[in-house]
Structures are given as structure tokens and as C-alpha cells.
Structure 1
Amino acid sequence: MYSLDDIILMFFCYAVIGWAWETIYCSLKAKHFVYRGFLFGPYCPVYGFAVTTVVVCTAKVTDNLVLLFLGGMVVSTVFEYLAAVFLENIFHLKLWDYSMLKGNIKGRIAPEISLFWGFAVVVITRFVQVYVLLFVKALEQRFGHGAATLVVLILATDTTFTVLNMQKFRAHALLLESRITDERARLKQEFETAWSKRPYLKLGPESQLKQLELYLDSWHETILRKLNESEKKFTWNERRMLKSFPKLRFIEAPDFEEIKERLLKK
């Protein structure tokens, strides 16, 4: 049986391991350093919750690879789904989107990702857990309850700062959304007025279509020029989130989603 201190410290270890895995994988994929993780610190709680839950619940069946695989797949998928629902309902935010994968459910989870979770948990339980447990016991032997207490304090503090920061980020995104929407409406009115006054109808259908396409293609640049230069810049963490999570989008701000990469360069 695992003690509460064991569980807290194992959770933290797997959260850090999960962060390291995601950071390395995404950095290699993007060909530049990508600091993953929703929280400020170098840990991903979803990995900590998922793997620790499976390790604790399958402690008596570690020799049964089928149960380990199924347990890892189901538990991890449930945690990932709940994490997505939490972000969408509390912050109106999506950090990942599996919509392009077959069998996905609302882009939150997908069979392909669940299979990865299953294999990952088997590998961790059979080959990594023994070293994590040795590390946990060494910490407890040296620092007693202090180690687990420190982990709780760190995570509680980080979570508080992250929640406050994300609320500000959402407000910033909605402000930009409002500015972009207003500017698009102004540009649309301006174009419709110009279209009605100028002799575009003398042009052939292809020329008219090309004129319209050029206008639509240039609205990003026009809005970027019109946005007030004194507009509040993205904070370090906002920039990190936008760069580290390419699929990040605020559900309430579709126009911001379309132009966010250009705004990052301001």
C-alpha cells in the first residue's frame, strides 16, 4: 500500500516526467524549444493524475500486461477528457484538438491517443516505477513529511497564479477580439461603399472575383496596421502559451484565433 506522501510525491514525479516528455517531443517536432505545460512550473498535472492513479489501482496486477494496458488507456483518457472539459468551461479555452483524428470525441480525446496512453503506462509501470519509488522513499527518508508538504504548496501557489493569469489572458483576447470585429465591420462597410460607387461592374466576372479576393486577403494586414500601437502587449506567459500550444484557441474569440500568430510578431 502507498501512503499519502508516496502518492503526492509520485504524482509530482510523473507530472515532471510528463512535462519533460512533451517538451522534448514538441521541441523536436517544432525544431525549436517549446516550453510545454499549462502551469508556470515544469510539470503537467494530467500526467501525474493519470499515471499515479493507474499505478495505485493496479499495484496488485503489475504482472498482467493486458490489465495494465487497458487500465492505463481508460484512466488516462478519462483524465484527458476531464481536463479538456475543465479548460473549456472554466477558461473557455482549448489547448489541444484531435478533431483531425478518426474516432475523436469533440476533439478532446481520440483512440490513437488512448492507445499511446495504454502503451506508455505499461512501460512506466514495468520499467520506470521502481526508480520513481526509490527516489520517493529517499526524499521521505531525508525530509519526512516536508517533501510532500512542499510539493502541495508549490502546486497550490502555481495553480493560483495560473488561474489569475489565464483570466487576464482571456480578457486580453476578448478585448482584441472586439477591436478586430469592429475593424472588420468598418472595412466591410468601406468596401461595400467603394464597390457601389466605382465602375467594378464594367470588369469581367474574373476581375471582380480577383478584386474581392485581394481585399479579403489583405484584411489581416489592414487590421494589424489599425490596431493601436499602445495596445497592451502579450505578457511572457501569454506568448509562451501561444507559441507552445499552436492549437490554443479561446472559444469566444474566433477572430483572435485567426490573427493571433500575426499579433505575436507585433
Structure 2
Amino acid sequence: MTAIGSLPRHRGRGRPAVEEPACSFARGMNYYKLFWVFFLCSFLGAVVETIFMFLTRGEIQDRSSVIYGPFSLVWGMGAVLFTLCFHRLAGRRDLLIFIGGTVLGGTYEYLCSWGQEVLFGARFWNYSHIPFNINGRVCLLYAMFWGVAAVVWIKDLYPRLCALIGRIPRRAGVPLTWMLTLFMLFDILISAAALSRWEARQMGAPPANAVEEALDRHFPDERLYRDFSTLTFVGEGGRAGP
């Protein structure tokens, strides 16, 4: 972790400065900045989780939460949440950010798990086997990981990422942002539709219209088992392979 004293500071404010070119299209806390934080952290999160699972379990798992591309929405939205809540605390003590990140991250992870179960009748993770868990949705250990991530993010990674985003030329950055926004919206919506239809198939529901027939044809169980290898439908006690 970069020591706070080694980072440039705003004069008289006691807080690390984020170096951004004056002409940057993503200068300050605007949509462009937050989208690139979401996009890049979604990608990096999926890659990091894949590497972590390989190193700890010797398994190569697809840790993406969407169908097209390696993107973990939980990581991406988590990075945006931490940025909005903690970016003004960069000059404060690490302990304060750690505690805030632990509480906020644990709450966020719980709500994500609950939302997945409500929308799709499934869970992408289950911490029931880990001590100090709450309904298997979150546990103290991983909540503390969120706290560490908040400190590292605000004190080191976020300023570096801002500098990287600031190097994207405005002429390319603005249209590229909106093209990627449309892509991510499509990816999220088609993934949600495929998961919803997958849940319906588990209950034996036949396709009710041409859209559901197309979802069954393009996203059969075999493909979704491969794309969402960690997903478990609630109430099944585990699911069979393809």
C-alpha cells in the first residue's frame, strides 16, 4: 500500500491529490469517470477472482456475472460505491476507512446476494461454511476484505486509475464511453433475461412466447452452466451439471 505521505497533496487540505489533465473528459466526479471506474474494475475483478480460484483451488472458473466478456458487476459497482462514499476521506486515517469499508462492503454484498435470490432464485456465492456469517450471504472475513480493499482503493488504486483515465483523449473518450455504456447495458439485460428464463426452465415452465423460445435456443442450460459455474438455485441443495 502506498503511504499517504508519499502521495501529492492539495495544499492545506491534507488529502492526496488526483492528478487529472485540465482537458480530461472525465475530470472530477462525473458520469464518464464513474463509468470507467465501473467498467475497468468489473473487468479486473473478474480476472482477479479467476486467478485467485486457480491459485487456491487449482480450478479455472468463469467468474463473470454477465454472458459476454469477463465482467464482475459486483466488483464494478462496489468500486463506484467506494469512490462515491470515500473519495473525500483519502487524507483520513486508514482505520476509519477500513471500518467504513467493512460495514459498507458487508452490507453491499448482503444486498447483492439477496437481490440475486429475489430476481433469479439463485445465489452466486454461499458463505454458510465460514464462521460468523449472516444467512450465508456475507461473513466477517470477507467483510474485512472489503475494508482492506477500501483502504487500498482510496489511498492508492483510485488515484492511479484516475491518472490512467485522464490520458484517454477527449475526442476518443466521449464516444467510446457511450458505445461501451450501450454494450454493458445490452450485456446486463440479455444476461438477466437468460438467467430469468433459466430459472423458469428449472421449474419446468415451457417458453411462453417467441422471446423465450429464442432465449432457450441461444442460451441453453449447458451454456449457462458453463458461463455461471458458481451459481446455485435456491432450494435445490445444489444443482446437477449439464
| TM-score when normalising by structure 1 | 0.68
Please state whether the residue corresponding to 2:108 is helix, strand or coil. helix
Residues 99 and 106, structure 1, Cα contact 8 Å, conserved in 2: yes
Change (3 A) 1:70 1:140: farther
1:82-231 equivalent positions in 2, closer than 5 A:
82-139=111-168, 141-175=170-204
Q: Which runs of 5+ in 2 are unaligned?
A: 1-27, 206-218
**Separation (CA, whole Å) in 2 of partners of 1:31 and 1:253:** 26
Residues 87 and 154, structure 2, Cα contact 8 Å, conserved in 1: no
Q: Which runs of 5+ in 1 are unaligned?
A: 177-231
Per chain length, whose mean CA-contact separation is higher, i.e. which structure has more relative contact order (CA < 8 Å, sep 6+)? Answer: 2
Q: Give, in angstroms, the shift of residue 63 of structure 1.
A: 2.2
Counterpart among 14, 18, 23 of residue 45 in structure 2: 18
Please state whether the residue corresponding to 2:88 is helix, strand or coil. coil
Please state whether the residue corresponding to 1:68 is helix, strand or coil. helix
Q: Give, in angstroms, the shift of residue 70 of structure 1.
A: 2.0
Match of 1:55 in 2: 83
**Separation (CA, whole Å) in 1 of partners of 2:155 and 2:87:** 11
- 1:43 paired to 2:71: yes
Please state whether the residue corresponding to 2:130 is helix, strand or coil. coil
Amino acid at match of 2:148: F
Change (3 A) 1:42 1:142: farther
Please state whether the residue corresponding to 1:39 is helix, strand or coil. coil
Counterpart among 10, 23, 27 of residue 54 in structure 2: 27
Post-superposition CA distance 1:68-97 (Å, at most 9, x none)? 212222222222111111111110101111
**Separation (CA, whole Å) in 2 of partners of 1:73 and 1:94:** 21
Residues 64 and 227, structure 2, Cα contact 8 Å, conserved in 1: no
Please state whether the residue corresponding to 2:202 is helix, strand or coil. helix
Residues 119 and 196, structure 2, Cα contact 8 Å, conserved in 1: no
Q: Give, in angstroms, the shift of residue 102 of structure 1.
A: 2.0
Residues 71 and 118, structure 1, Cα contact 8 Å, conserved in 2: yes
**Separation (CA, whole Å) in 2 of partners of 1:163 and 1:80:** 18
Q: Give, in angstroms, the shift of residue 49 of structure 1.
A: 1.6
**Separation (CA, whole Å) in 2 of partners of 1:13 and 1:74:** 24
Match of 2:98 in 1: 69
Q: Give, in angstroms, the shift of residue 172 of structure 1.
A: 3.0
Residues 69 and 119, structure 1, Cα contact 8 Å, conserved in 2: yes
Post-superposition CA distance 1:149-195 (Å, at most 9, x none)? 1232121101111112112321333339xxxxxxxxxxxxxxxxxxx
**Separation (CA, whole Å) in 2 of partners of 1:144 and 1:241:** 32
Q: What percent identity do the matched residue pairs reach?
A: 22
Structure 1 consecutive aligned stretches of length 4 or more whose deviation exceeds 6 Å: none
**Separation (CA, whole Å) in 1 of partners of 2:84 and 2:46:** 21
Post-superposition CA distance 1:20-50 (Å, at most 9, x none)? 1111111223323211022122111111222
Count residues in correspondence. Answer: 200
Amino acid at match of 1:33: I
- 1:250 paired to 2:237: no
**Separation (CA, whole Å) in 2 of partners of 1:102 and 1:32:** 24
Amino acid at match of 1:240: D
**Separation (CA, whole Å) in 1 of partners of 2:171 and 2:33:** 14
